[in-house]
Amino acid sequence: MSENNGMFGASGSGDTSGFGGLARSAANFGSSERPYGSYFDEVTDELERAYPEFNSAIEKVVIDRGELTLHVKREKLFDTAMKLRDTQSLRFEVCLGVSGVHYPEDKNRELHAVYPLLSMTHNRRIRLEVSVPDSDPHLPSLVEVWAGNNWHERETWDMFGIIFDGHPGLTRILMPDDWPGHPQRKDYPLGGIPIEYKGATIPAPSERRSYR
Amino acid sequence: MTTQDSYASATDTTEGRVYSVTGGDWDSLVTEIGQTKEERVVVNMGPQHPSTHGVLRLVLELEGETITEARAGIGYLHTGIEKNTEYRTWTQGVTFVTRMDYLAPIFNETAYCLTLEKLLGITNDIPERASEIRVLMMELNRISSHMVALGTGALELGALSPMIFAFREREKVLDVFEMISGLRMNMAYVRPGGVAQDLPKGAIAKIRETVKELRHNFKDNEKLLVGNTIWMKRTQGIGYLDLAGCTTLGITGPVLRSTGMPWDLRKTEPYCGYENYEFDVITTDTCDVYGRFLIRMQELEQSLRIIEQACDKLEKSEGQPVMVADKKIAWPSQLSVGSDGMGNSLDHIREIMGTSMESLIHHFKLVTEGFRVPAGQAYVAIESPRGETGVHLVSDGGTRPYRVHFREPSFNNLQATSAMAEGGMIADVIGAVASIDPVMGGVDR
């Protein structure tokens, strides 16, 4: 997904470690193979049964570290969420919000939204993940499905600039109303100023030489 | 038509004529407003610091004393902790996240560490003694957090004495924290792989003594409030939110349990070995402020029970490790509590500076570079005093988090303000918000 060069975070400072030529890229997970194990087979089977468009809606199913992630196409997100909530055998009646993630290197899929779901009826957890391109950051709002997503979607808009279509009042929530930019995107600088201490200058956290 | 008043200016908007009142001559204002037919008053409650909840602003639309619309304005304590952690090592993240919900620091740390351990794949390698200490600290923390909820909740409704008693008890718990970690709040005591250090000598005896005192002292507040006519009139039937409302709003914790739903992650998805402790999940079925108050009161006793069991277990596991055996993850520095708080232990300094070059290299590498976490994402939730604290961590395989997101129960539960307050009296909005027990440090992060 992302590719890093060398061992150190900052560039331009003298790297005498010899690691500068190393290139390492983070794994981009492919779809998992059946059987998924645990209750994951049952959940995907039930969703497939309840939702005829399953194959076109779900891009991939990832099982990692004992957690199930369904990667959903954004056009089908709302329908999938409805099925997950209302189907008797699934009953994901609680959504625990939205967590945005920004992958600038993932071309045309820069912005991801991650929805952890909880079924109290069956005591199960799964996760939905949707990606949108930076140039067209629109997602359907899930406030109609889970009212509690209201503030979480506002936060994700505020921090990542994902626009949730159909949200009852998509305004900034943590930052001031007139704030420019979306602070938790990777292209938004952390800020900070260099500090002088006993004659030496310590750069701001984002400028310090650090390991990758 | 009107005289210009610099404190109470009138403007025409799409909604009609709006008068902003910030002070000034009341008489001229009343005369002016008296000319309009409609009477809709919008009151800004805050932004201010109502006792210890943090800075919260409530926008209330009133008709007489009845609230027709309530909106909460948040963000005044936003400090960008999630963003900041992306520029520090995984271990340093603990020091940041502990400051989110400052009344439940141990819960933030534990949730973060459990998620990180899941990412590292070392969940099953955490020593039992470390988990026992985590449980002990979490339950102590639950007591200190509930004490603030009860004390400030009562204070906000005009009862002053419960606050005094509650903070007296909280102080005793904080004394234990200080003895164990060197700090009363924001301890960064729970670390990836275990805890920062073992319990000091005499800690168990002190905790047992404290448990005895607390159990005795809790009766003071119980006598003051449980069954108190004034208290019940201010809390019963107030801030109503039923099960359907809770699930769609994602509400967890005491507010959810006040609907009769016995949902407690310590029972439904045990972590840190909670399945080995005996305790009850407290519920009421009144869906109101009084029910939530009773739940918190009774959870204190349940926490004491867990603490006693944890003490028994800790006495048996005396001398066992409190940090994961993998030296590439375990924090190398050995700490000890001195007269001025927690610091490096002199023995460790002597070893790395005087005797072992390899120890020094190891220490230096792990502290400056940190450890790498395999790429991927994980979500772990624990039962904090306010509900489900969920942590979503994403790693790109580096020494620093790619994304840290806290699903804060305070943030989520505060959304219920509108549902609880609308249609009620203005005086009851205070009780309703207090029963949610929002901590703005957690809401705004």
Q: How does pLDDT run across A114-153, given as a tens digit for each residue?
A: 999 999 999 999 999 999 999 999 999 999 999 999 999 9
pLDDT of residue A64: 87
Determine contact, residues A53/A72, Cβ cutoff 8 Å: no
* Contact list, B74 vs chain A (CB under 8 Å): 173-174
Provide the shortest C-alpha distance from residue B268 to chain A (in Å).
7
pLDDT of residue B1: 43
pLDDT of residue B140: 94
Give me the phi and psi of B384, to 5 degrees please.
Answer: -90, 175
Q: Is 60 exceeded by the pLDDT of residue A187?
A: yes
Q: Which has the minimum average pLDDT: B2-16, B276-290, B394-408?
A: B2-16
Out of A64, A116, A211, whose CB is closest to B376? A64
First to last CA, chain A: 15
A106 band by pLDDT with thresholds 50, 70 and 90? confident
Q: How many CB atoms lie within 10 A of CB B288?
A: 22
> How far apart are the C-alpha atoms of B352 and B95, rounded to whole Å?
24
A20 band by pLDDT with thresholds 50, 70 and 90? low
Provide the shortest C-alpha distance from residue A173 to chain B (in Å).
6
As a whole number of angstroms, the longest Cα–Cα distance in chain B is 89
Provide the shortest C-alpha distance from residue A48 to chain B (in Å).
24
User: Pick the residue with more confidence: B411 or B23?
Assistant: B411
Q: Which has the minimum average pLDDT: A39-48, B310-319, B408-417?
A: A39-48
User: Pick the residue with more confidence: A23 or B234?
Assistant: B234
DSSP type of residue A204: P
Determine contact, residues B320/B127, Cβ cutoff 8 Å: yes
Give me the mean pLDDT over the B62-81 stretch.
88
| ipTM of the prediction | 0.86
The sign one gets for the Cα dihedral B123, B126, B129, B131 is: negative
Q: Is 90 exceeded by the pLDDT of residue B223?
A: no
Give me the phi and psi of B42, to 5 degrees please.
Answer: -105, 120
Q: Is 80 exceeded by the pLDDT of residue B261?
A: yes
* Contact list, A174 vs chain B (CB under 8 Å): 74-75, 78, 444-445
> How far apart are the C-alpha atoms of B66 and B40, rounded to whole Å?
11
> How far apart are the C-alpha atoms of B341 and B188, rounded to whole Å?
13
| Pairing mode, strands A58-64 and A124-132 | unpaired
Both structure tokens of B36? 């309009």
* Contact list, A157 vs chain B (CB under 8 Å): none
- The number of CA neighbours under 13 Å toward the Cβ of B134 is 30
Q: Is 70 exceeded by the pLDDT of residue A166?
A: yes
Which chain B residue is nearest to residue A3, measuring alpha carbons?
B396
- DSSP assignment string, A126-163: EEEEEEE-TTS-EEE--TTT-TTHHHHHHHHHHHH--E
Q: Is 80 exceeded by the pLDDT of residue B32?
A: no
* Contact list, B376 vs chain A (CB under 8 Å): 27, 29, 64-65
> How far apart are the C-alpha atoms of A104 and A107, rounded to whole Å?
7
Question: Of A197-206, B330-339, B415-424, which one has max mean pLDDT?
Answer: B415-424
Looking at chain B, the whole-number percentage of residues with pLDDT higher than 90 is: 42
- Amino acid, single-letter form, for residue A211: Y
Question: Of B61-75, B294-308, B338-352, which one has max mean pLDDT?
Answer: B294-308
pLDDT of residue A47: 87
pLDDT of residue A5: 56
Both structure tokens of A57? 């809606």
Q: How does pLDDT run across B188-200, given as a tens digit for each residue?
A: 899 999 998 888 8
Cis check: omega of the bond before B47, within 30 degrees of 0: yes
- The number of CA neighbours under 13 Å toward the Cβ of B29 is 15
> How far apart are the C-alpha atoms of B271 and A66, rounded to whole Å?
14
Alpha helices in B188-288 (DSSP H): 203-225, 229-235, 243-249, 254-257, 265-268
Q: How does pLDDT run across A56-75, given as a tens digit for each residue?
A: 888 888 888 889 999 999 99
Which residue is associated with the tokens 């960064």?
Answer: B188
Provide the shortest C-alpha distance from residue A66 to chain B (in Å).
9
Give me the mean pLDDT over the B64-78 stretch.
88
Q: Is 90 exceeded by the pLDDT of residue A10?
A: no
pLDDT of residue B4: 57
> How far apart are the C-alpha atoms of B394 and B89, rounded to whole Å?
13
Mean pLDDT score across all residues of chain A: 84
B52 band by pLDDT with thresholds 50, 70 and 90? low
| Pairing mode, strands A67-72 and A124-132 | parallel
> How far apart are the C-alpha atoms of B394 and B81, rounded to whole Å?
15
Beta bridge partners of B434: none
- Residue to substitute from A174, A190, A209, interface B, most B β-carbons within 10 A: A174
> How far apart are the C-alpha atoms of A178 and A175, rounded to whole Å?
8
Interchain pair B403, A152: CB under 8 A = no
> How far apart are the C-alpha atoms of B407 and B401, rounded to whole Å?
16
B62 band by pLDDT with thresholds 50, 70 and 90? confident
B6 band by pLDDT with thresholds 50, 70 and 90? low
Out of A94, A150, A184, whose CB is closest to B415? A150
Give me the mean pLDDT over the B358-382 stretch.
87
B336 band by pLDDT with thresholds 50, 70 and 90? confident
